[in-house]
Amino acid sequence: MATALSLALSPATALAWAEGERGPLEVTSEDRGVPARADEASAPEETVRTFTTGRVTEPRVQATFPWLLTQLIPSPEWVISDEGVRFGGRWQATPLLYSFGIDPRLSPWRSMVAEPIVRHAGSVELFVSPTYLAGGGSLGNRWLFRSGVRAYFPLLDRGEYLSCSVGGALVYHRDEVGVAYEAGIYTLFGVLGLQAAYTPTRDLRMGSLTLNIRYF
């Protein structure tokens, strides 16, 4: 019986009782598995409070040579205009980004390099995007430049599985300036996406579809 009871008690209580150091058997708060003092009962709450208000370490985000190589890979784009359908490659750069979807204890600002979670959890960015189009005669007719503002919103799992974007940009092409409106959908942590844009300006009226491939 002593052995069976000792298994139900704490080691210190069982040993003291077995050696006769305690009188009548007393089951203490320690034996019941609850703190003996009120300040011990509040310890888990204090631990949680320390965790939620503690400091966090800023990630080291900087341009590297491998990152630069990935930026040189263009995204396929199709431009539809009165000239027909033209295929091209599109590049994108982000001079400045503000994220409103990350941990508020971290800096929301990024320049050039932005982690996928920072962008697709919710952000607003300034972007510059040149496109080189195949064919079209003169060199000026082959390049298309966009510069504007784009906002990202998470749809599934903070944007890691699915996110969307809307934006607007100034367009320069064939010595003409116009305005474009765009929308996009993204998956796989933002690496793969589809962007559609339309330019209603009469001299530059066109639409485009971009298979967006972007690592950071």
Per-residue pLDDT of the chain (216 residues; tens, 9 = 90+): 444 434 444 444 444 444 444 444 444 444 444 444 444 444 444 333 333 446 778 888 888 999 999 999 999 999 999 889 999 999 999 999 999 999 999 999 999 999 999 999 999 999 999 999 998 777 778 999 999 999 999 999 999 999 999 999 999 998 899 999 999 999 999 999 999 999 999 989 999 999 999 877
Determine how many CB atoms are found less than 10 A away from the CB of residue 115. 16
In the three-class reduction of DSSP (H, G, I as helix; E, B as strand; rest coil), residue 74 is classed as coil
Domains, the chain, ranges and CATH?
2-53 (no CATH), 65-213 (2.40.160)
* E runs forming strands in 101-142: 109-110, 123-133
pTM: 0.73
d(CA 29, CA 51): 28
* Contact call for residues 184 and 195 (beta carbons, < 8 A): yes
